[in-house]
Structure 1
Amino acid sequence: MTSARPVPAEHGLPPKNRTADRRRAWTGPALLGAGFRPFFLGAAVWSALAMALWIPALTGAIGIPTRLAPVDWHVHAMLYGYVPAVLAGFLLTAIPNWTGRLPVVGWPLAALVVVWLAGRLAVAGSALVPSPLAAAIDLAFLPLLALVAAREIVAGRNWRNLPVLAAVLLVAAGNLAFHLEAPSGAAAQGYGARLGLATIVFLVLLIGGRIVPSFTRNWLAQRGPGRLPAPLGRFDALALAAGGVALVGWIIAPDSPAAGVACLAAAALHLIRLWRWVGWRTTSEPLVTILHLAYLFAPTGFLLAGFAALGAGVPTSAAVHAWTAGLIGTMTLAVMTRATLGHTGRKLTAGRATTAIYAAILAAATFRVAAAFTPQHAALLTASALLWIAAFAGFSLAFSKPLTRDRLP
């Protein structure tokens, strides 16, 4: 996370103390004492539940009362259901640190959670209500989150993080486009899905480029001399620019040679970027290593997308799932586990349960990418889905106590 611009203290208290006081002043359920608590837990439960529903829905064993085609519902449930909840938990926790302003806690936080939950129910049950109403309920959350974030960023004069706000609005635009394309029955392959996915991938490149080397440097610095991650500089700006160009090209024309070349260039640059962060020195602490393994799926996705666009026999779904199941799934779990431990007063180290969660999500992502290359892929798809459920259900169980109880002294 970025360092905040100094802001004036109010009532004689420095910003960090004011933030802590605001959280301590909340005497209701601990679950509503910080943004990461309800949204990380809700995101994990939803992710496991949505995948558990998707398996029998895919085989026709059950029917989900939604107007979306089955594949469209699956994509929307993850891309515009799970990810916005994680994004909300991250932003509502990070923004007070960026700006020094008071966090959103208590009943205003509960209202945001209710809006997000209403969207999940509206889309899943959209066949039972007018389609415009279901879409409107679902579309309300991201603009509301952007409004809350904008108020805090602008009031705190934290202009450096305005790109994060722009990303939230782009994801909201992608969700709108997805709903507009849904009547065709192929929204999962449309502009709305690609816009949302590409924006989230770029957001991971942007924020991951800050936190992965920062957390790695902090951990390595406590363990004596040795090589440290390269500081942020021009190379990172070049890699981000190349990634942005490649993603824009992929949104517009994913099968074009130009997009393919741009994706291959981005893959090379982001692989070098990751190497500069010396992740191989962190293998004794899974809480740090997982950040590097998650980021590895970014150049992998670019590489697969590039070969797919150039007609090299690589299916586009391999690139998509390298980014979705691999980069997004693994990175969000890595951030959720680390943030939960840190913000609830736990030791920043991965125990057995956390390590098992990481193993499950890495295996789920690997199997899902591999399934794209295998004609008889039912077993791989099933294994990937079950491992995905295990990872997110495991997070829900292992972290429910710290998320729903007061911070340790």
Structure 2
Amino acid sequence: MSPSFTFRGPALFSYGFRPFFLAATLFALGVIPLWWLVWTGRVALASPLHPTDWHIHEMIYGYGAAVVAGFLFTAVPNWTGRLPTRGWPLAGLLALWLAGRLAVAGVFGLGALATALVDQAFLLAVAAMIAREIVAGKNWRNLKVLVPVSLLWLANIAYHAEAALAGTAWHGHRAGIALLIFLILLIGGRIVPSFTRNWLVQRGATALPVPFSRFDGLSLAGGALALVSWVAAPESLATAVLCGLAALLHLGRLARWRGHATWRSPLLLMLHLAYLFVPLGLAAASAAALALTTEATATHLLGIGAIGGMTVAVMMRATMGHTGRPLVAGPLLTAAFGLTLLASLLRAASDLMPGGPALSALLWTAAFALLALRLGPALSLPKTARRHPSSLAPKG
């Protein structure tokens, strides 16, 4: 290995997934118990945001944005063939992320405008650095990844603006979730069938996931239209129709990836199960538009189930593969994933279960305690001697 490729700093800052996956895991572990204390009136934050707005904002732009950054700063070098962002630039990005969390929680005592300025800096820096790497590597086909990331940055600014002007950020809640869901449709629709195909080929299977086709393009377009309608008018008939159709499209898309054949590989099956919560959440959004259920049901199926489940599955796979460990979930990681999905189902059904929110928060916290226990050392310590193929994103 050439000296120019050797990183001699702390292992935590040797690759993009390490600091951001660790930060996301620890943040998710602590922020939900804190939210429970805020929600029950035991703790008061000095945040310029309403407590509910703070909670939703931090799950999207705190936890979600950290996982997105960790994924992209690891996947993009794989796509471009360039060295990953390391060392002080990575530490600086982590500091920007942390400053945003403290500012939004009211720790700095800033007003609404100053808080928004501090908070938006992280996603702006992520988008700029990703754009630089893709352009420098002339990897033009992946420039499309910048669109949802840039939109997520703009949505964060709009979130703060809506909260300041309207008193709450109802559209902002849905916009942030919708953009993360679209990233799952875009990136998950690439990695899930690719990893499944590779695994099945290694085992001599002849029935493989269907390659990307016009149906996938139709599914992405249908999903985008449904999400836009849900953000703009969640109670409209158009939303009911579009979300219902999108749910069917993505259920069909998922069925083409042969997830049922991966039951022997929990780490792979997790990706399929997490994606399943996208059509479940879209179906719930359709039902909510017809007043058959509440919007909170759709929000938590999409937010905890799809986003939480997919991010947990991706962090597991990337961490194990990129730190030289076998791509095996084991009992702790399998339990953590299961608890995450169960937390989503319980929270979505909380209208029928008075104790659902409390139990859901407990399960989420337990899930991330297991993740921190299992992934924490792998993320913060040097890579093991054993090497494994890239497990985060296919090349291209």
**Shorter-chain TM-score above 0.5:** yes
TM-score (norm 2): 0.94
Q: Which residue of 2 aligns with 1:367?
A: 346
Out of 180-189 and 130-139, give the one that drifted further. 180-189
Number of residue-to-residue matches in the alignment? 385
Distance 1:393 1:67 in 2: 29
Q: Could you say what secondary structure the match of 1:140 adopts?
A: helix
Q: Which residue of 2 aligns with 1:103?
A: 84
Residue 281 of structure 1: how far off its partner (Å) = 1.1
Does residue 79 (structure 1) correspond to residue 79 (structure 2)? The answer is no
Q: Could you say what secondary structure the match of 1:187 adopts?
A: coil
Q: Which residue of 2 aligns with 1:13?
A: none
Q: Which protein has greater RCO, CA pairs closer than 8 Å, 6+ apart? A: 2
Q: Which amino acid aligns with 1:277?
A: W
Q: Which amino acid aligns with 1:398?
A: R
Q: Which amino acid aligns with 2:364?
A: W
Distance 1:33 1:253 in 2: 44
TM-score (norm 1): 0.91
2:160–2:169: 8 Å Cα contact kept in structure 1? no
Distance 2:344 2:174 in 1: 19
Structure 2 counterparts to residues 18-37 of structure 1, below 5 A: 25-37=6-18
Q: Which amino acid aligns with 2:41?
A: G
Residue 183 of structure 1: how far off its partner (Å) = 2.8
1:128 to 109, 124, 136: 109
Q: Which amino acid aligns with 2:332?
A: A
Q: Which residue of 2 aligns with 1:11?
A: none
Distance 1:174 1:126 in 2: 23
Residue 128 of structure 1: how far off its partner (Å) = 1.8
Does residue 402 (structure 1) correspond to residue 359 (structure 2)? The answer is no
Distance 1:127 1:87 in 2: 25
- Displaced runs of 4 or more, over 6 A: none
Q: Which residue of 1 aligns with 2:393?
A: none
Any stretches of 5+ residues in structure 1 without a counterpart? 1-16
1:75–1:188: 8 Å Cα contact kept in structure 2? no
Residue 185 of structure 1: how far off its partner (Å) = 6.7
Does residue 197 (structure 1) correspond to residue 177 (structure 2)? The answer is yes
Out of 236-245 and 329-338, give the one that drifted further. 236-245
Residue 224 of structure 1: how far off its partner (Å) = 2.6
Structure 2 CA distance for partners of 1:186 and 1:223, relative to 1, 3 Å: farther
Distance 2:363 2:167 in 1: 27
Does residue 302 (structure 1) correspond to residue 278 (structure 2)? The answer is no
Structure 2 counterparts to residues 316-335 of structure 1, below 5 A: 316-335=295-314
Residue 119 of structure 1: how far off its partner (Å) = 0.4
Residue 108 of structure 1: how far off its partner (Å) = 0.9
Distance 2:173 2:107 in 1: 19
Distance 1:223 1:105 in 2: 36
Out of 338-347 and 61-70, give the one that drifted further. 61-70
Any stretches of 5+ residues in structure 2 without a counterpart? 386-396
Q: CA RMSD in A?
A: 1.5
Q: Could you say what secondary structure the match of 1:112 adopts?
A: helix
Q: Which amino acid aligns with 2:286?
A: G
Structure 2 counterparts to residues 226-241 of structure 1, below 5 A: 226-241=206-221
Q: Which amino acid aligns with 2:331?
A: R
Q: Which residue of 1 aligns with 2:394?
A: none
Out of 70-79 and 124-133, give the one that drifted further. 124-133
1:69–1:185: 8 Å Cα contact kept in structure 2? no
